[in-house]
């Protein structure tokens, strides 16, 4: 197994860290839901199917590009933690906003709370070492 480069993030193992693994799974699910909500919101902005699809796919493509460049575990551009959190707030918070904008304020509030809790736990787990093997 090769050693990671100095500029690569090491994705920790889930062995011995079931809560970390569960939270990472939830984070992936939240990301997918946020992308779906952003598409839905973009789709509702236009008149006519072609314009709706263009806007929905455009908003989705922008969010995916932002995430892939700056917030993904293997992001192309390494930002400091504050920058990554801003990108996560824009994309994941944008998903909650999109849900609110299409007429589901309670679901949007629930999503926002889950996003904040999940992100806070992810950062807490990321800075806590894995338990030693017995």
Task: Give, in order, the Cα–Cα distances in Å from 37 to each of 15, 19, 49, 51, 127.
Answer: 33, 26, 18, 17, 30
Q: What is the pLDDT of residue 9?
A: 52
- Taking a C-beta distance cutoff of 8 angstroms, is the pair 100, 119 a contact? no
* Domain assignment present for 98: yes
**Could you report the per-residue pLDDT of 84-97, keeping only the tens digit for each?**
999 999 999 999 99
| CA–CA dist 64, 7 (Å, integer) | 22
Are 106 and 82 within 8 A, CB to CB?
no
Range of the domain at 59: 18-126
Q: Among 33, 63, 92, which Cα is nearest to 55's?
A: 63
Inside any domain, residue 36: yes
Q: How many domains does the chain have?
A: 1
Residue 12 belongs to a domain: no
Give me the percent of the chain exceeding a pLDDT of 70.
81
In a domain, 74, yes or no: yes
């Amino acid at each position: 197994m090769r050693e990671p480069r100095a500029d690569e993030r090491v994705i920790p193992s889930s062995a011995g860290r079931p809560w970390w693994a569960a939270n990472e799974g939830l984070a992936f699910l939240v990301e997918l839901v946020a992308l779906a909500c952003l598409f839905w919101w973009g789709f509702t902005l236009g008149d006519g199917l072609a314009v709706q699809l263009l806007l929905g796919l455009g908003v989705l493509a922008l969010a995916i590009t932002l995430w892939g460049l700056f917030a993904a575990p293997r992001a192309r551009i390494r930002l400091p933690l504050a920058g990554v959190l801003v990108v996560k707030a824009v994309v994941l918070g944008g998903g909650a906003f999109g849900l609110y904008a299409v007429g589901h304020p309670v679901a949007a509030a629930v999503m926002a709370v889950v996003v904040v809790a999940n992100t806070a736990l992810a950062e807490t787990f990321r800075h806590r070492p894995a338990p030693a093997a017995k």
